[in-house]
Amino acid sequence: MKIIGGKQKKPNQSVLIGFLLKHKAVVLLVAVIGLLLLYFDLKIKSIDSTHLEMMSTTNKKHNQEIDSVQSLALSQTVKVFSWAVRGELIRNNIEQVNQLFQAFIKEKGIQQINLINPESSVIVLSTDMKQKGQAVSDEKIIRADTPITIEDSLSQNIIVPVMGLEKRIGVLVIKIGN
């Protein structure tokens, strides 16, 4: 060591390099552990993202299955309801049909029920009294021969023809919302 101006000058090799050279095995082990931690951290993140994708796909699939089961149950319920309405219409019992409407409107998701006379295209019975007596101009609804569903962003309308012995005696329009 040289002394310059009262201070000692350290050798060119720094303390850190000296330490690293002295403890090569420890430094190598720390580096290997660091690389292993980095590798497994990346591996865990990859597995997590794969797991989240699988969960999202599974959730979507299950939601679609639930929707299809609910749709099937709803269509069966509407079919049975239309049979009850048919039975009362054949007997010309409008008051009983109105009671059926009032009971069915209380079910979850049912927003409105209309009964349309297919000959005059007029709403003869409705759960919304403002609708009663109004004309329906949509030929798709009036001429329905089989049950159909019309969906929009807020609700869906299930149109069910009510058949008598020889002809259509009514058309049910059941509005269902979420």
Q: Is residue 135 part of a domain?
A: yes
Q: Find out whether 81 and 104 touch, Cβ atoms under 8 Å.
A: yes
Q: Is residue 38 part of a domain?
A: no
Q: Is residue 84 part of a domain?
A: yes
CATH number assigned to the domain comprising residue 70: 3.30.450.20
Q: Is residue 136 part of a domain?
A: yes
Q: Is residue 98 part of a domain?
A: yes
Q: Is residue 102 part of a domain?
A: yes
pLDDT at 31: 93
Structure tokens belonging to residue 70: 């609910």
pLDDT at 153: 81
Q: Give exposure, 86-98, as e/b (b: 16+ Cβ within 10 Å).
A: bebbeeeeeeebb
pLDDT at 122: 93
pLDDT one-digit tens code per residue, 115-156: 999 999 999 999 999 989 999 988 888 888 888 888 888 888
CB count in 10 Å sphere of residue 62: 10
pLDDT at 177: 79
pLDDT at 9: 53
Q: Find out whether 104 and 110 touch, Cβ atoms under 8 Å.
A: yes
How many angstroms separate the first and last alpha carbons of the chain? 87
**How many whole angstroms separate alpha carbon 122 and alpha carbon 86?**
18
C-alpha angle 71-75-78 in degrees, rounded to nearest 5: 135
In sequence order, the 6+-apart residues with CB closer than 8 A to the CB of 3 are 9
pLDDT over threshold 60, residue 5: no
CB count in 10 Å sphere of residue 172: 23
Q: What predicted TM-score, i.e. pTM, was given to this entire model? A: 0.65
- Comparing CA positions, the residue from 126, 121, 125, 92 lying closest to residue 110 is 126
**How many whole angstroms separate alpha carbon 81 and alpha carbon 73?**
12
**How many whole angstroms separate alpha carbon 36 and alpha carbon 16?**
24
Q: Is residue 32 part of a domain?
A: no
pLDDT at 13: 60
Q: Which domain holds residue 104?
A: 51-177
pLDDT over threshold 80, residue 1: no
pLDDT one-digit tens code per residue, 21-48: 888 888 899 999 999 999 999 999 999 9
Q: How many domains does the chain have?
A: 1
Q: Is residue 70 part of a domain?
A: yes
